[in-house]
Structures are given as C-alpha cells and as structure tokens.
Amino acid sequence: MFEIIAVILLGVLCIVASILDWNWWFESRKVRFLTMIFGRKGTRILYGVFGLMFIGTGVYLTIS
C-alpha cells in the first residue's frame, strides 16, 4: 500500500513542479539533459505527462 501512495505522490509532485515551473527542479543535473533536448516548455509538458502516468498507475494499482 505504501508503494501505491508513493507513486501517486510522485505524480502529484511532477505535476506541481511542471505547473509552478520550479527552477530547482528543472535546473537539477538529471533534468538539465531533458531541458537541453526539449527546451524548458517541452520538459514541463513531459513532466506533466509523467505525473499523469504516475497517478494513473497508482489508481490502477489501487483498483486492481
């Protein structure tokens, strides 16, 4: 059950980071690579999609 909650919270964190455009999130060493490839706006959209996927996965695991 803890894993499902963690996945959902990770999804929420990704969505909030993409909406609020957190500098500390998008300028981190690991995310900077994606920002160079997709640009800042593209990376924000990508992390919004990641967040939706994480939340969807958590909901699916809760239902099943």
Q: Break the chain into its structural domains and give their ranges.
A: 2-63
The Cβ-side half-sphere exposure at 22, using a 13 Å CA radius, reads 12
pTM: 0.87
Q: Which H or E run contains 52?
A: helix 29-63
The low-confidence residues of the chain, meaning pLDDT below 70, are none
**The pLDDT of residue 20:** 96
Sign, CA torsion 52/53/57/63: positive
